Structure 1
Amino acid sequence: MPAPAHVAPAPPTLTEAERDLARWDDDGGPAFEPRPGPQDTHWLRIAAALGERLPELAEREDVIVTCATGTRSGAPAAFYPRTAQLEIDAGLFAPLNPATIDPTRVGDEENYPVAWGAFTHEAAHARHSAWATPAPLRGTALDAAAQLLEESRAEHAHLHRRPGDRRFLRAAVHTLVMADFTHETPTDRWQAAAAAGLILARRDAGILDPDETGPLEHIVTKILGQGLLQTLARIWTAAHTTADEDGHTMLAHAAAWCQALGADPKGPEPAPDPTEGPGQLAEAIGKVVGAVAANEAAQAAAQARVETARTARTRERAAQAAHARQAAQTAEKVFAPGARPFTPSSQRDKDRRATSPVTGTRTPTQAEKAAAGQLARALRAAAYRERTVTVTASAVPPGRLNMRGALARDAQKTAGAIPTAQPWLRTRRSQGPTPPLRVGIAVDVSGSMRAAAAPIASAAWIVAKAAALTDPDSRSATIAYRRSLTAITAPGRAPTRVTEFDADGGGHSLAETIDALTAGLDLTTPGAGRLLVIASDGYYRPEEAIPAAERIAALLAAGCAVLWLAFASDPRPLPGTTLLELTHPAQAAAAIAKAATAALATPNP
């Protein structure tokens, strides 16, 4: 059986060269200490950093960690309980440059999972291997079996404390097992049992998956037989439940292991049988290691996709938050009292100074007042919610008596049972809240809208006035936009006069206009009937249309309806909007009422 040389009471004895370099205190001088090279300095630093991280893995602070090229035990990593020393081979960190390794940084272990898995395995021994084989029995078959069973037992106990370390233990399986099995290892019963105790026991400990260990289980079953393999499985399963300090029970499990395999517990470990063909166990274990690596790679790829998606969502939320702040700043500049026309940075021209398109105001006509009243009534009807009816049952009045329930209650009393029937029914009707309106109006005052300037001004006043008449909590705002943005009415200020303007400017800052209206009226916030009305012909350049379409899509996703008013032929509304082609402002009342009714009737997301 391969001897797990990485767990021994104390480090190996000093070599002759080490003895020659040793100095006693009474020699009158310090002990010889070779000057460390640049690489050695890094490994000393890494060893100290691993020592700082060990308490979180092993829950003890007395273990000294060393990290250098090669180990004294010859194993990739080792732990010595008597001297509380843990050593790890620097070669496990290959091909990383030691200058880039910093175990003190949590998460750095993701860069060297094999090395961290070996380190975790030794930490599991430091925490849970609290027993030792008595000195007279060391080197016997009993000792070899006990140390074998301790491998999966320590990892099983470690996973109960730190289940997140499973992926590191899996990554180090080939380091912890494959070195003990080569193509020269014979496929006799003792070696097959050792392979089962190191691999299949880790499956039952929750470290490996059944689909990964199938090739080895097939070979071991052929060598040992189903019955013997089941006997060994019962032994390692019992070992997994053995307490850390219960060395007596662990030795009993080891004795049962030797008995099942026909080996003398107090004799030496059975020698390999040269008559058995070599290589089968190593080949099967290699398949197990390959399956583990493939599964870990697939898991890592899936995790990478999840992390990429999470990062994308984080960036998207950050971008949305930044956009919301920018929109709030735009709204503040546009709707500030006495504010001049605001020109977004994308439309600024040093040679031009933004001027207001407003030419004056006038008293609304009777037809406009009638249209506003008609639209207000329609909006109130759209916002109306039916009363909700709630029926509750009770054992006592008030309410309407249900005879079937009364008879059932009398029957329960007659039978001597505790009456549970509730014969009284009470009906409650309550009025649901009527949501207020939030109506944003964007008016295109670019040169192509010159002919429609008068009807659009009339329609904008009708919509804003109707929104103000529906509910005291309703709010509306109107912005005239071309290259610059000019507030016609601010949120919460009901218009009393019709604002007239000239449509003679260039450019279309519709995206920034939607931002200002969205921030000023909370058009993306549920709890109100939300509506954006855009009066325009839609003749925009791509760099103007694309960002505006993105804002409209965001509003639609948030549950805000978007209407597009056009007073000229062949309009080009942006995607997602509801087009209303009008020839007279008065038509807007009925059309907008219909659209608003549908918007208010649609539940908010």
Structure 2
Amino acid sequence: MPHPRTHLHSGAAAPAIGDPDWQAWSHAWTQHIPVLTGRTDLTVSVAPGAGGGAPACFYPDACRIEVDATHIGAPDIANPRRAGHKRLVPTAYGLLVHEAAHAAHSRWRTPPGTPPVVAAVAELLEESRIEYRQRARRRGDRRWLRHTVTTLISPDDAPIDDPWHAAHLAGLLLARVDARILTAKDIKRVRAAVTAILGRKRLLQLREVWRQAHTTDDTDADSMVDLAWRWCRILGIDPQQQPQTPVPDPGVFGGRLAQALTDYLAHTAGLTPAEYRARQLSARYSAPATWTRRDPTDDERAAARHLAARLRRARTHQPEPDTQPSLIPPGRLRTRHAITAQAQIAAGTRPTATPWQRRTTLPPPKPTLHLGVIVDVSFSMHPYAAPMSSAAWILAHAARSSDAVTATIAFGSDVTLLIGPRQRPTHVQDIHTFGGSSTFIDAVKLADPVLQLRQPGRLRMLAVVSDGDLDNIAPAQRLVSTLHRAGCAVLWLRPADLDGHTFTDATTVLVADPVQAIHHIASAAVTALEQA
């Protein structure tokens, strides 16, 4: 069962992390911490990497709070000795308040012999309990604790849709509504997702558990452990065994819980869910692929222009009949507009009314193409690096020239976002192949939020430049089929002289020379788009 990121460290404390650049922050917050806790025996250490692996932590035996300076930024961003500095670093100050709540109210220890699952549930209940007690004692601290919730929660807290993770998410977010830190509106979608998995009756039983925890005395370890055992019984689990939950299928996009949690985290960050997922995935897959940049050849530019023209035509279907207002005949006279036009003329103004309405044929609006180009940089692509690099540039540049939204992503042993949606692919990036091909699924899952490949109402296409020799064929096929069913066309460019794997629900084109094969690539792309 997942548990909160560990930031309440019992037992021996790790050596304090010090940084001379942050000494002023450590000193100022050490002087301030008695205001938050009512204790005078605490010290605060602020430094990059502090926090015991979490954003912040509290060492009870050492009477020390640590805050990772990453959440502040630079030492000179504010003067920590001035009261107004907290408005400039609300998340970091919220972390200080949260750890202060632990220092003031986490006065109980897990009894020896408590099963790890029960101990983890008790720690989960403690999170909202100490914030409830802190807010009751210092009402104004709610403002700062709200800033901290998203820092203490990870998108990985809800990997699959099962009762374990649904209950965990309820304990993290729904319990904070009863603690009056969050509002019901904040977590509306999370509540709906949790209720759908747990059921209303079981969720109400869990709610009664955390509400009793909120009123438990700060030193009452027995009651907290008893409530954790009750939590386990409600969920029907054996606390003596570590719960075995299914491993998420790598070929399936996030479930209901993950999507609801992402929506919440994105909303609090002021982003759309797609932007938030793209930011998280880009940060996770930051290992750089190795490339050599060069200018495209004249033949490659000509091929890109040809493909761009074909893509523009593919975006527009057959013209449709319509009517159009007109100042002059022929057409049907619209009496009211004719009277308005006469009145405008009589008043000596230029007539703007359109008395006539004629039949005409107008093309429908051209939808914007969202194209993801995914390039295989695994070692098996070494003999085909040059033509595949050329093909990737032709696709990306042609799409961008036809007002498409594009992104180019490399996958091998790692995933790298090479060209983002707002960047123009001006240079050909010649592949330097290395490693395996285990990250195709991660590359697609990065392309999805960046380009909204599964969102209906858009013209979408995924172009994969690869020999198809992947480490995970079965989940990759499920992912390709998922995109196909969602209306996203999949075009697979494969080296012509290689008998690689052919995926269903994808249009496969064998390529030896991308410039010579541009007609085939264009035809396949247009056909795939028109049939999507």
TM-score by length of 2: 0.47
Which structure would you say has the larger Rg? 1
TM-score by length of 1: 0.42
